[in-house]
């Protein structure tokens, strides 16, 4: 299939891609389906509908996609059910570990050869899975390796969910130092702009929070959806009734710089993005996260910290400053420590809650997209 070998066209500076160029569809998986759809898929095979619930329980609760372990299902039906409900969606190409095995990054190959990555991060009090929502990304942020490579295609709900289930399996099996555990948090901060793949992401959010056997039964409070600021989608997300945390990748408080740093700003300006974020906070009662990658001499000036504080003052908001993890050969690099300190000080002086994000997995190319870009 020539499609498998296709590489996406590199975008020209500032070019935005909202629609998935590649149309190849991954196999349909039970994680793509509602409970009713799963039952229908099973009855179409001439099997009783409750088999769908049994297989769902194996997948989401026992974290098993191996039909030989489904001992409550007649042996003769297991392969047929596995074929219809749990086809292989992705295979690991490489796994890299850091922080004494508590940070694990997996590079996955999807059915059509697309590469994506996920990262498991274990902390003393939680386990966070950072997932990809698209193969590549169409938002073209100039400091980001994924953005420079362009968008290959949208991922399916099943492909997004499988990244978390696979991390949950590793934890349950005790493969991550610290003993058996569970995934408590999911952040959509891997490859892709989640809100540009809206329908599949909403499906994944439902699978994460739906109680077993329909889904993983996680708390919506532990889930963060990030966006560069697709304003109509932020408003839609607010109306979904899923109180996940919204993280806005702002990276600049002024339109002049943000137009180049986050090219989607040419479509929706800082004030429009922030208005949508405040509406999100009002509707969901959830504090909005503002993500700000500190880039040396680009967006880390003291006056920008003051302007950011002014724009956020009095809102239900928290700022996450991210020391930029430089891409090899790139002119974009992390701020000087003294500039970072001054930026924090000015935000705090302006009454804004701020943390500097712990940059896990630096030694394994922790910035989004770097592992896949290196393949």
Given the rule CB under 6 A, which residues bind ligand SF4?
Answer: 137, 139-141, 144, 146-147, 191-193, 228, 368
Burial annotation 308-325 (CB, 10 A radius, 16+ → b, else e):
bbebbeebbbbbbbbbbb
Report the nearest approach of ligand SF4 to the CB of residue 140 (Å): 6
Tell me if the bond preceding 282 is cis, omega within 30° of 0.
no
Nearest to 344 by CA among 294, 275, 269: 294
Which of 32/300 has CB closer to ligand SF4?
A: 300
Report the nearest approach of ligand SF4 to the CB of residue 265 (Å): 11
Which of 70/143 has CB closer to ligand SF4?
A: 143
Strand-pair partners of 317: 288
Under 8 Å CB-to-CB from 311, ≥6 apart: which residues?
Answer: 253, 270, 274
Report the nearest approach of ligand SF4 to the CB of residue 152 (Å): 12
Residues with active-site annotation: 117, 368
Residue of closest CB approach to ligand SF4: 147
Which of 182/269 has CB closer to ligand SF4?
A: 269
- Distance, in Å, from the CA atom of 242 to the CA atom of 223, rounded to the nearest integer, reads 10
Report the nearest approach of ligand SF4 to the CB of residue 135 (Å): 11
Report the nearest approach of ligand SF4 to the CB of residue 96 (Å): 19
- The H helix count followed by the E strand count for the chain is 13, 12
- Distance, in Å, from the CA atom of 158 to the CA atom of 191, rounded to the nearest integer, reads 16
Which of 65/372 has CB closer to ligand SF4?
A: 372
Strand-pair partners of 291: 249, 320
Report the nearest approach of ligand SF4 to the CB of residue 307 (Å): 21
* Contacts of 227-230 spanning 24+ positions with Cβ under 8 A: 227/193, 227/194, 227/195, 228/139, 228/141, 228/193, 228/262, 228/264, 229/262, 229/264, 229/265, 229/268, 229/272, 229/273, 229/276, 230/193, 230/195, 230/196, 230/264, 230/268
Which of 167/229 has CB closer to ligand SF4?
A: 229
Which of 192/222 has CB closer to ligand SF4?
A: 192
Q: How far is CA 27 from CA 9, 31, 89, in A?
A: 25, 11, 7
Under 8 Å CB-to-CB from 346, ≥6 apart: which residues?
Answer: 302, 305, 306, 309
Which tokens is 85 given? 């409900």
């Amino acid at each position: 299939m020539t499609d498998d070998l296709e590489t996406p066209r590199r975008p020209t500076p500032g070019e935005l891609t909202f629609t998935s160029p590649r149309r190849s569809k991954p196999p349909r998986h039970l994680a793509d389906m509602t409970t009713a759809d799963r039952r229908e898929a099973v009855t179409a095979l001439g099997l009783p509908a409750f088999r769908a619930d049994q297989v769902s329980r194996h997948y989401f609760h026992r974290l098993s996609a191996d039909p030989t372990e489904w001992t409550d299902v007649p042996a003769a039906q297991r392969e047929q059910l596995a074929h219809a409900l749990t086809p292989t969606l992705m295979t690991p190409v490489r796994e890299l570990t850091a922080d004494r095995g508590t940070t694990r990054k997996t590079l996955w190959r999807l059915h059509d050869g697309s590469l994506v990555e996920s990262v498991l991060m274990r902390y003393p009090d939680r386990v966070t899975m950072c997932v990809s929502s698209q193969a590549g990304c169409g938002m073209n942020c100039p400091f980001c390796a994924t953005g420079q490579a362009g968008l290959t295609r949208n991922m399916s709900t099943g492909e997004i969910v499988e990244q978390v289930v696979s991390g949950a399996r590793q934890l349950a099996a005790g493969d991550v130092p610290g003993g058996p555990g569970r995934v408590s948090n999911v952040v959509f901060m891997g490859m892709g702009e989640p809100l540009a793949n809206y329908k599949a992401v909403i499906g994944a959010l439902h699978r994460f929070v739906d109680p077993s056997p329909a889904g993983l039964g996680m708390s919506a409070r532990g889930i963060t959806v990030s966006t560069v600021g697709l304003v109509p989608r932020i408003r839609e997300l607010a109306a979904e009734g899923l109180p996940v945390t919204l993280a806005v990748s702002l990276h600049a408080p002024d339109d002049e710089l943000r137009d180049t740093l986050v090219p989607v700003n040419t479509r929706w300006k800082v004030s429009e993005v922030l208005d949508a974020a405040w509406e999100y906070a009002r509707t969901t009662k959830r504090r909005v996260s503002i993500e700000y990658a500190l880039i040396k001499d680009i967006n880390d000036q003291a006056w920008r910290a003051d302007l950011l504080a002014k724009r956020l003052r009095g809102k239900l908001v928290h700022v996450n400053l991210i020391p930029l993890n430089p891409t090899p050969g790139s002119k974009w690099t992390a701020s000087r420590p003294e500039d970072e300190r001054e930026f924090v000080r000015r935000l705090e002086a302006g009454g804004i809650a701020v943390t500097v994000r712990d940059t896990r997995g630096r030694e394994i190319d922790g910035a989004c997209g770097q592992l896949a870009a290196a393949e």
